[in-house]
Structure 1
């Protein structure tokens, strides 16, 4: 029983790790894309922040769903 629990914990850690890495990748890629436009459109700064917030919420929801499926 404890072995199964350890495997579940490993899967959860793996999912969270992948989630964090992909979130960081999104931040890096989108910051490169936005850097070009920030100089001409200051409003895109706020848009960029909102996109990050929305992306983080989506990741949280999907990770919770994956955890429920595993457990």
Structure 2
């Protein structure tokens, strides 16, 4: 009977569907981890840039850059 054959095919695909769903879940998890790491890195980069500006301003206020320190 044709219906029974179609149902067998659907049952045979079940393990693959489960594997795909599991892989999708893991990809979503890794994507979230990467997004969080990227956001932390962006904030850290911003903080470093602010600190660089602050220190450069302090050096300039104190009379210039020390020897050997290039000004950018």
TM-score (norm 1): 0.54
The equivalent residue for 2:38 is: 16
- Per-residue Cα deviation, 1:11-38 (whole angstroms, up to 9, x for no partner): 0111111001001001111211111223
Q: Computing the radius of gyration over CA atoms, which structure comes out larger, 1 or 2?
A: 2
Q: Distance in 1 between matches of 2:50 and 2:43?
A: 11
How much has 1:44 moved relative to structure 2? 4.4
TM-score (norm 2): 0.53
Equivalent position SS for 2:26: helix
**Which segments of 5 or more consecutive residues in structure 2 lack a partner in the other structure?**
1-22
As a proportion of its length, which structure holds more helix? 1
Q: Distance in 2 between matches of 1:44 and 1:27?
A: 16
Q: Distance in 2 between matches of 1:35 and 1:21?
A: 21
Runs of 4+ in 1 over 6 A off after TM superposition: none
Equivalent position SS for 1:31: helix
**Which segments of 5 or more consecutive residues in structure 1 lack a partner in the other structure?**
47-71
Q: Distance in 2 between matches of 1:35 and 1:24?
A: 17
Q: Distance in 2 between matches of 1:29 and 1:37?
A: 12
- How many residue pairs end up in the alignment? 46
